[in-house]
């Protein structure tokens, strides 16, 4: 494989890895916010005296 082709592939790979890492970071932030909201909902339900653990 010519050196220029090798360099081009490395650049493409590095760009893809950077894009994937950025996307993953965004997903982690979204999921963390979702977990926080669910934990708040759970705490509210646990404090509700009418709530039973058997479900609705």
In angstroms, the CA 22 to CA 28 distance is 10
What pLDDT score was predicted for residue 56?
A: 53
- Ramachandran angles phi, psi of 42, nearest 5°: -65, -45
Tens of pLDDT along 5-44? Answer: 899 999 999 999 999 999 999 999 999 999 999 999 999 9
**Is residue 49's pLDDT more than 90?**
no
- E strand or H helix at 56, and its extent? none
Res. 51 pLDDT band, cuts 50 70 90: low
**Is residue 1's pLDDT more than 60?**
yes
Q: C-alpha distances in angstroms, 44 versus 7, 32, 36, 37, 55?
A: 56, 18, 12, 11, 15
């Amino acid at each position: 494989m010519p050196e220029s082709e090798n360099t081009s592939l490395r650049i493409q790979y590095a760009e893809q890895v950077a894009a994937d890492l950025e996307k993953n970071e965004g997903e982690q932030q979204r999921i963390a916010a979702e977990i926080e909201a669910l934990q708040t909902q759970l705490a509210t339900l646990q404090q509700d005296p009418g709530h039973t653990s058997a479900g609705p």
